[in-house]
């Protein structure tokens, strides 16, 4: 027996709601869909991944902006990026969104984003040479009071926004590094480009370790979790709350053990 689309919609609407997502929210979503797909199949729903995305767009409404990370870390070694063809390395939901977004993928060859819904065209047109700077999608999300939503991942696996805030505060354990390579644009023209990202100064000594920051935020109930203070299922958090608390940690000088550790 295949359950009708209405039941599929209602089931997912409850899922989004249980993670604190609301109509008109601007959302940056990180995801591992394995468990959600298994749950939907167990319910005998017939669907594709794009149906999950379309349902989320419908749930959020036409005013909302839905942002998917379509990061491609292999640019640092391959030295090549095609904005129309290079696949996302961030999972099936992200890659599906990349295919659906038409030309609404941001510029950066390492930290690009696919945007659906109410697309801010200025973000698509700009060339943000610094991946995590003020003119990145992280800066836009905070300025527009958006949320970060996470499906079945811990912060260590996804919360790149921490590094944006680190860059904005010029932390001592990271620095800007340039990467060069060939860039194929939407017109299929290839040019040599240089882009920057905020990396660890000493990769042999400094370890990205944000589990402590996740616990800090969860212990204070800043995350809206489907399952109480758990990374299981869906959860969300306001980007301005992330910014406020990470900056508080930085100003107190207690980032070690919360945002990074040392070998």
Given a cut of 90, is residue 4 above it in pLDDT?
no
Helix (H, G, I), strand (E, B) or coil at 98: helix
Report d(CA 238, CA 62) in Å as an integer: 20
Is the Cβ–Cβ distance between 31 and 91 less than 8 Å?
yes
pLDDT (tens digit, 9 = 90+) per residue, 19-31? 999 999 999 999 9
Whole-number percent of the chain with pLDDT over 90 = 97
Q: What is the DSSP letter of 156?
A: G
How confident is residue 231, by pLDDT bands cut at 50, 70 and 90? Answer: very high
Spell out the residues 6+ positions from residue 37 whose beta carbon is closer than 8 angstroms to its own: 49
Report the mean per-residue pLDDT for the chain: 97
What pLDDT score was predicted for residue 27?
Answer: 99
Reported pTM: 0.96
Which residue would you say has higher pLDDT here, 4 or 240? 240
Classify residue 2 as exposed, middle or buried by CB count within 10 Å of its CB (0-12, 13-18, 19+). exposed
Paired with 29 in beta bridges are: 149
| R_g of the chain, CA atoms, integer Å | 18
DSSP H or E segment with residue 200: strand 190-200
Classify residue 189 as exposed, middle or buried by CB count within 10 Å of its CB (0-12, 13-18, 19+). exposed
What pLDDT score was predicted for residue 103?
Answer: 97
How confident is residue 6, by pLDDT bands cut at 50, 70 and 90? Answer: confident
What pLDDT score was predicted for residue 5?
Answer: 80
What pLDDT score was predicted for residue 30?
Answer: 99
The residue-averaged pLDDT of 207-224 equals: 98
CB-facing half-sphere around the CA of 145: CA atoms within 13 A: 3
Terminal CA-CA length for the chain: 55
List the one residue out of 166, 167, 192 whose CA is nearest residue 179: 192
Report d(CA 186, CA 163) in Å as an integer: 28
How confident is residue 41, by pLDDT bands cut at 50, 70 and 90? Answer: very high
Given a cut of 70, is residue 127 above it in pLDDT?
yes
List the one residue out of 102, 85, 110 whose CA is nearest residue 193: 110
CB atoms within 10 A of CB 255: 21
Is the Cβ–Cβ distance between 21 and 59 less than 8 Å?
yes
Given a cut of 50, is residue 1 above it in pLDDT?
no
The residue-averaged pLDDT of 36-54 equals: 96
């Amino acid at each position: 027996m295949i359950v009708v689309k209405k039941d599929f919609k209602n089931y997912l609407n409850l899922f989004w709601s249980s993670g604190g997502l609301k109509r008109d929210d601007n959302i940056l979503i990180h995801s591992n869909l394995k468990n959600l797909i298994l749950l939907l199949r167990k319910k005998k729903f017939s669907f594709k991944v794009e149906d999950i995305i379309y349902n989320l767009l419908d749930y959020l409404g036409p005013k909302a902006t839905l942002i998917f990370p379509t990061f491609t870390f292999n640019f640092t070694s391959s030295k090549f990026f095609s904005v129309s063809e290079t696949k996302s390395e961030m999972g099936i939901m992200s890659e599906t969104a990349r295919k659906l977004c038409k030309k609404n993928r941001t510029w950066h060859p390492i930290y690009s984003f696919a945007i659906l819904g109410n697309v801010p065209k200025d973000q698509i047109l700009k060339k943000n040479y610094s991946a995590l700077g003020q003119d990145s999608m992280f800066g836009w999300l905070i300025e527009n009071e958006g949320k970060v939503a996470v499906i079945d991942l811990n912060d260590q696996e996804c919360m790149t926004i921490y590094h944006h805030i680190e860059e904005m505060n010029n932390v001592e354990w990271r620095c800007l590094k340039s990467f060069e390579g060939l860039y194929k644009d939407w017109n299929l023209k290839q040019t040599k480009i240089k882009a920057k990202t905020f990396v660890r100064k000493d990769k042999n000594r400094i370890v990205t370790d944000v589990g402590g920051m996740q616990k800090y935020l969860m212990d204070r109930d800043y995350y809206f979790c489907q399952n109480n203070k758990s990374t299981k299922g869906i959860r969300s958090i306001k980007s301005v709350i992330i910014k406020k608390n990470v900056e508080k940690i930085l100003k107190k000088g207690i980032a070690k053990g919360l945002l990074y550790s040392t070998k």
